[in-house]
Chains A and B, each alone.
Chain A
Amino acid sequence: MADSNKTVRDVKFHVTRYNPETDAAPYVKTYTVPVREGMTVLDGLHYIKENLDGSLAWRFSCRMGICGSCGMLLNGRPTLACNTQILHIAETQLTVGPLPNFDIIRDLVPDLMSMFEKHRSLKPYVVRADEAEVNDPAGEFYQTPEQLEAYLQFTYCIKCGCCMAACPTLATDARYLGPMPLSAAQRYNQDTRDDGRPQRNQVTGSAHGAFRCHYAGECSRACPKGVDPAKAIQHLKRRLVLDYLRLARRKKACQKLHGPGQGQPPGNIPAAPPKTVTPSA
């Protein structure tokens, strides 16, 4: 087995630095990192912070591609630092920069607020007329596996912003909603429990909405979770057109089921064993 503690080679990290209190503009500082087999870019940044320069700032949390904190521009490509092994993308040189199309707060930390505000404007949650049922459910909603699959892919988004950094449309139009918020809108539009599409259409169909996308597809290439935002946006546009022409099939949000037995479960499921723990009141 390969010795994972052995340095394979030194890689020069060209890291974008920016201190808002002292620097007028970002500049690049170079650090040499001894790279071991399997070492991620995130590990490399930790090495720099521990051994070379304690002032380097970046954002991370889960270090396993779940939290969406560590999106960065690695060798010019937006991706997750924790999900990318140094030896897979760099020979001897590696550029590490903050995600473009966002303001830089410091060093490698982008300000993702603009993305989250657009996301929020699209009501990224189940919207229903019977709001009381959503807030204080008395039953369950019934959804078939096929209905789930119509939006499941778009639920895997971790809000890392890599797609926003890759999008050429967003680069020139700061008000464009962008791939992440639009695919989130499609995720909820497609949910059979949801009734909020007419409200979302007001925003997704606006001048800076889905029709600003011209399918350059960079978002789908960049997405580290395989969400395929470009696909979501094209499906979203189709619904917008059909809704506008009043050609969309009218579907009501699915009704809730009160108590067990109303979803017609197959009859051959044995009864559950008696409870072993009584929840305290």
Chain B
Amino acid sequence: MAQINRHDNRLGLWGWLGGGRWGIERYAYILHRLTGLGVLFYFLMHIVVTSLRAFGVYLWIEGGVFHQPIFRVGEFLVYAAFAYHAFNGIRLVLVELGFAVGAPIEPVYPYKTSLDVQRPLLIVMMILAAIFLAVGGYEAIGLAR
């Protein structure tokens, strides 16, 4: 039989970031991955920077590179990523253990899904993350002075 061509239509990274229907949980999913990668990157940098100490390089002391404003902002971003990732992570742990998604129901149009059931949890977690951000932001401004 002749070889039949076909076109690979898998979305790849674009499907990860875009496509689909763009619900709020989708944004939460994207942000969770990005903040996770961000915190991981920070962690690796952290190991590199502190290990430089073995060579007598102290980047974080008064007047060091890490006192530049850009690193202050960067530090706050790491903190923000941590706050979001932690609180959204708590939601995900609960949801992925089958809590807060509701029992199976009779699907009657217009369909209500488990997304609607867990939405209050998402909102509460985002408020908690926002409070953490506000407190941390206040600190960061205070320190920068």
Contact residues of A with B, CB < 8 Å? 18, 20-21, 25-26, 76-78, 98-105, 110-111, 149-154, 156, 166-172, 174, 190, 211, 213-218, 220-223, 225-228, 230-232, 234-235, 237-239, 241
Partner of B10 from the list A100, A217, A221 (CB cut-off 8 Å) is A100
Is the CB of B95 closer than 8 A to any CB of chain A? Answer: yes
Stretch at the interface among B68-76, B108-116, B136-144: B108-116
List of B residues within 8 angstroms of A220 by Cβ: 113-115
B-side binding surface: helix, strand, loop or mixed? loop
List of A residues within 8 angstroms of B11 by Cβ: 100-101, 168, 171
Give A53 Cβ to nearest chain B Cβ, in Å.
19
| Contact residues of B between 5 and 38, Cβ < 8 Å to A | 5-17, 19-21, 23, 25-26, 28-30, 32-33
List of A residues within 8 angstroms of B56 by Cβ: none
Docked Cα-Cα span, A261 to B9, in Å, equals 56
Q: Are A154 and B104 within 8 A (Cβ)?
A: yes
Is the CB of B47 closer than 8 A to any CB of chain A? Answer: no
Interface size on B (CB < 8 Å)? 44
Q: Are B16 and A153 within 8 A (Cβ)?
A: no
Docked Cα-Cα span, A149 to B104, in Å, equals 7
Contact residues of B with A, CB < 8 Å? 4-17, 19-21, 23, 25-26, 28-30, 32-33, 92, 95-99, 101-109, 111, 113-115
Docked Cα-Cα span, A235 to B10, in Å, equals 27
Give A209 Cβ to nearest chain B Cβ, in Å.
13
List of A residues within 8 angstroms of B17 by Cβ: 168
Give A89 Cβ to nearest chain B Cβ, in Å.
12
List of B residues within 8 angstroms of A225 by Cβ: 107
List of B residues within 8 angstroms of A172 by Cβ: 12-13, 15-16
CB nearest to B17 among chain A residues:
A168
List of B residues within 8 angstroms of A102 by Cβ: 9-10
Q: Are A218 and B23 within 8 A (Cβ)?
A: yes
Q: Are A153 and B105 within 8 A (Cβ)?
A: yes
Q: Are A234 and B7 within 8 A (Cβ)?
A: no
CB nearest to A152 among chain B residues:
B104
Q: Are A231 and B114 within 8 A (Cβ)?
A: yes
Residue picked from B10, B28, B104, most chain A C-beta under 10 Å: B104
CB nearest to A101 among chain B residues:
B10
